[in-house]
Copies of this chain bind each other. A is one copy, B any other.
């Protein structure tokens, strides 16, 4: 249940009310909205609680019941949507987010080259993998901490916030020192131990949808992070598994408007993993933005054919520039501006 407080209620009054409810045995979170505060009741609502009685409190404007099992992340909690600010850029607001960079960080030269190019062609966030979850134990597993240091250096020099994937509990501390946004991969979407741990860090987290996860499972996984203390979560649609084997995944773009209706979190589309096919990245990136996504994540490499991982879905610089030119036309349709 959400208790929407009256407009003139101050932060101090809201906080005091929250404390009072905590003493009463409820678990409650305080959420700030433009112009008013809300209290979200997470636990302690048994059948013996007379829910109607909350309306009697003088500072409560109205009560909203949950329609869904996720609570902190339901759209009703923050009707205007969450905007996440990272080092001068924002995700979920009026700016179109462009996360770009190589699948794997291969060398200092490579990531510097990409960052320089991206910094002057409209990207807002630099991506690069240092720990790679590979389905075979015999494949290249990433440069590790060395790669993270190159990513950090590139981000700082070219004024781009960074994002990289964290694979398990033991890497959380390390990653949160080097990168701005921590990414959870599709195979870890329901790694609940990892999700809880990420609830305790200060960095925003981008959670990729499990390749066979329902919308509700996706949001419940995000709720793990939120309920453990971290409200800065970005959702990423990256394709689901279907019976079709021509493409690596089936990009589910309807997830964009549907998730936006269910939750207040920003939604990003990854057309690179979403198709696994280089020639499909541009049309599907455009389609993702046209569907209303807050941004895209795209794999870019100076020489895509030489990419050590995911070469078949990585685009080069000319294709990236062509993409940005068209996004400048499409983004305004969904009221976003391109950097």
Contacts and interface: CB of A to CB of B under 8 A. Distances in A.
Nearest to A211: B212
Contacts of A212: 211-212, 241, 243
Nearest to A185: B190
A308 interface: no
Contacts of A169: 168-170, 193
A77 interface: no
Copies of the protein in its oligomer: 4
Contacts of A170: 169, 193
A194 to B, nearest CB: 7
Nearest to A249: B254
Interface string A242-271: 111111001111101110010000000000
Contacts of A194: 168
A193 B241 CA distance: 23
B192 A191 contact: no
A175 interface: no
A144 interface: no
A22 interface: no
Interface in A284-339: 284, 286-292, 326, 329-330, 332-333
Centre residue among A43, A69, A190, A244 by max chain B CB count within 10 A:
A244
Nearest to A71: B138
Contacts of A135: 190, 217, 220-221
B215 A246 contact: yes
A203 interface: no
A188 interface: yes
A188 B280 CA distance: 29
Contacts of A241: 212, 243
Interface residues of A, number: 71
A216 B277 CA distance: 17
Contacts of A247: 254, 258
Contacts of A289: 290
Interface string A154-169: 0000000000000111
A221 B242 CA distance: 20
A168 B240 CA distance: 25
Contact of A69 (B42, B136, B214, B283): B136
Interface string A217-246: 100110110011000000000001111111
Contact of A254 (B71, B227, B275): B275
Contacts of A20: none
A85 B334 CA distance: 33
A81 interface: no
A189 to B, nearest CB: 8
The 5 closest A-B pairs by CB, nearest first: A212-B212, A168-B193, A290-B290, A187-B190, A287-B291
10 contacts: A133-B190, A167-B192, A168-B191, A211-B212, A212-B243, A214-B246, A257-B280, A261-B279, A286-B291, A329-B333
Interface of A: 42-43, 69, 71, 133-138, 167-171, 187-188, 190-194, 196, 211-212, 214-217, 220-221, 223-224, 227-228, 240-247, 250-254, 256-258, 261, 274-275, 277, 279-280, 283-284, 286-292, 326, 329-330, 332-333
